[in-house]
Chains A and B, each alone.
Chain A
Amino acid sequence: AQSVTQLDSHVSVSEGTPVLLRCNYSSSYSPSLFWYVQHPNKGLQLLLKYTSAATLVKGINGFEAEFKKSETSFHLTKPSAHMSDAAEYFCVVTLWMDSSYKLIFGSGTRLLVRP
């Protein structure tokens, strides 16, 4: 089975401290992986993507993620949280099905940033 698991439904950090949002995937082939961010009542915005190039991927707003094939992980990090980072984050993996790729979403992690 091919799937994606976000290990924490909620993460709370203080402003200025590091952020770690965890994502593990299951895939029978080398996948493409994405992180999206969603602010309340908004659509999803792409933060970064991994498509088999460099394993350390840099995204927007200071976020980055590292693809670790041995651990089947794609954790999202940021050195210093900002209040504006408070949002819901989705890890997404591709799935080959019915002659095309489909995006499979994790259940999301809500990031809370304390002043």
Chain B
Amino acid sequence: DGGITQSPKYLFRKEGQNVTLSCEQNLNHDAMYWYRQDPGQGLRLIYYSQIVNDFQKGDIAEGYSVSREKKESFPLTVTSAQKNPTAFYLCASSWDNQGESFPTEAFFGQGTRLTVV
């Protein structure tokens, strides 16, 4: 079955540590996204990638880093520079929307809940 998979589902980080969240999709989508969700708030865009080996900062990129070495994978690293990393992180993918007349919807993974301990 095609889909988008995030792992782990729950992750605990000590102060000062870097952690990496995994996101894999087998939908053959070009575009991939990382969002952060805090209680009672909508989704905020961290990073996005429209093509392999290219990515752009979203609205809240500080303290995060990404890579896009393969079309299927878009891992997110939460660095020690991110002062408030406890949140629910969602990865999404979609068809490439560059120049398309009608943007398509995004497909979401099940999320990773990150907690700083």
Contact = CB atoms under 8 A, between A and B. Distances in A.
Q: Do A and B make up one complex? A: yes
Contacts, number: 57
A107 B105 contact: no
B111 A107 contact: no
Interface residues of B, number: 30
Interface string B83-95: 0000010101000
B91 to A, nearest CB: 8
Nearest to B58: A102
Given A32-B102, A46-B105, A90 B88 contact: no
A43 B50 contact: no
A108 B111 CA distance: 17
A9 B99 CA distance: 34
B40 interface: yes
Interface residues of A, number: 25
A41 B88 contact: yes
B97 A43 contact: no
Contacts of A46: 105, 107
Interface string A33-63: 0101000011111100101100000000000
Interface stretch (B11-19, B41-49, B70-78): B41-49
B50 A108 contact: no
Contact of B42 (A34, A45, A51, A108): A108
A106 B37 CA distance: 12
B20 to A, nearest CB: 19
A99 B111 contact: no
B98 to A, nearest CB: 5
Contact of B111 (A43, A52, A100, A102): A43
Contacts of A90: 42-43
Contact of A45 (B40, B102, B108): B108
A101 B111 contact: no
Interface of B: 6, 31, 33, 35, 40-43, 45, 48, 50, 56, 88, 90, 92, 96-100, 102-103, 105-111, 113
Interface of A: 9, 32, 34, 36, 41-46, 49, 51-52, 90, 94, 98-103, 105-108
Ranked 3 nearest A-B pairs via Cβ: A101-B103, A43-B108, A101-B97
